[in-house]
Amino acid sequence: MATAPTKPTTPVKKESSGASSMFALLAIPICLLVGIAIFVFILGDPSHYAGGDVEHAQKMDVFGTVHRGGYLVPVIMSFVLMVIVFSIERAIVISKAAGTGSVDTFVRKITSLLNAGNIDGANAECDKQKGSVANVIKAGLKKYREMEVDDHLTVDQKTLAIQKEIEEATALEMPMLEQNLTIIATLVSIGTLFGLLGTVLGMIKAFATLAASGAPNTSELSTSISEALINTALGISTSASSIILYNFFTSKIDKLTYAIDETGFSIVQTFGASHAAKR
């Protein structure tokens, strides 16, 4: 039995995966550097403090208050930037994977053409749609054509071969969509943890200052606590936005996977029905 030809899409997918990994390696330290720069040069600007006294001023605007949150603030801010950057990157990748048109409309067209036995029309629709979903369906349709002229296999074997081709094409296309989602998922946890860590450190500092002064100063203590809680607010905001975006992108990927499964099932069923008499 002749071996199946090597898929030309494999090097492309490896290159795409490598590009996503390189993007992550560059984006993470850049976001950290940008977060530090914002903390030092924007939030830490003396204009945000009364009299320009960054160290001792009791009155400050919102930027100055965030700056007083401590040295974990730029780290948490870099997490926020990572959420934004990787969300934009995933949105672009998933949009390209979906293709040029509506996935639901594309699936309906393919299903209708398959029911009519118009394989060439289905191929043409895949060329118009482009993207990962269309690539997987086109691979299945190509195998469909190959099985039609194969005289050595039974109908059941041909049907299994088509199904396996679709599964292999899916295995090449789909993992790329989830590659950097793990970073967003990780930020869900570490955003909150770093926020709590900053708050704990701030509270330790506040009570240490209170103990050293000897006399309770309610105003100073309240100010220190509010500054410490800034870390919690930033951490929870990072975690909340990460959860929302992660679930959003996961649902998008699930929708694409379902579209592939639905159309792949139609291809297999169409082949089995049209060649039932040859069993």
Q: What's the helix, strand, coil split of the chain in %, to 5?
A: 85, 0, 15
Output the pTM of the full model.
0.82
Q: Dump pLDDT digits (tens) for 155-195.
A: 888 889 999 999 999 888 888 888 889 999 999 999 999 99
Beta strands in 174-230 (DSSP E): none
The whole-number pLDDT of residue 9 equals 43
In sequence order, the 6+-apart residues with CB closer than 8 A to the CB of 241 are 80, 83
- Percent of the chain past pLDDT 90, that is, above it, reads 41
The whole-number pLDDT of residue 62 equals 85
Of 8-17, 86-95, 176-185, 200-209, give the range with the top mean pLDDT.
86-95
Q: What is the mean pLDDT of residues 203-226?
A: 71
> What Å distances lie between residue 11 and 8, 16, 143, CA to CA?
7, 9, 20
The whole-number pLDDT of residue 94 equals 92
Q: DSSP string spanning 51-95?
A: GG-TTT-S-B-HHHHHHTT-TTHHHHHHHHHHHHHHHHHHHHHHH
- Listed in sequence order, the DSSP H helices in 150-180 are 155-173
Instruction: Give the residue extent of every domain in the chain.
Output: 23-46+70-278
Task: Tell me the two tokens of residue 85.
Answer: 């950057």
Find residue 49's DSSP bridge partners: 60
The whole-number pLDDT of residue 217 equals 65
Contact 230, 69 (CB under 8 A): yes
Mean pLDDT for the chain overall: 84
Q: What is the mean pLDDT of residues 119-125?
A: 91
Q: Dump pLDDT digits (tens) for 223-271.
A: 677 777 888 999 999 999 999 999 999 999 999 999 999 888 888 888 8
The whole-number pLDDT of residue 5 equals 43
Contact 73, 66 (CB under 8 A): yes
The whole-number pLDDT of residue 56 equals 72
The whole-number pLDDT of residue 77 equals 94
Task: Name the packing angle between helices 131-148 and 155-173 (round to 10°).
Answer: 160
Q: What is the mean pLDDT of residues 216-227?
A: 69
* Residue 3: band (very low, low, confident or very high) from pLDDT cuts 50, 70, 90: very low
> What Å distances lie between residue 256 and 10, 21, 96, 178, 260, CA to CA?
20, 22, 11, 12, 6
Cα 266 from Cα 196, distance rounded (Å): 51
Cα 206 from Cα 174, distance rounded (Å): 50
The whole-number pLDDT of residue 54 equals 78
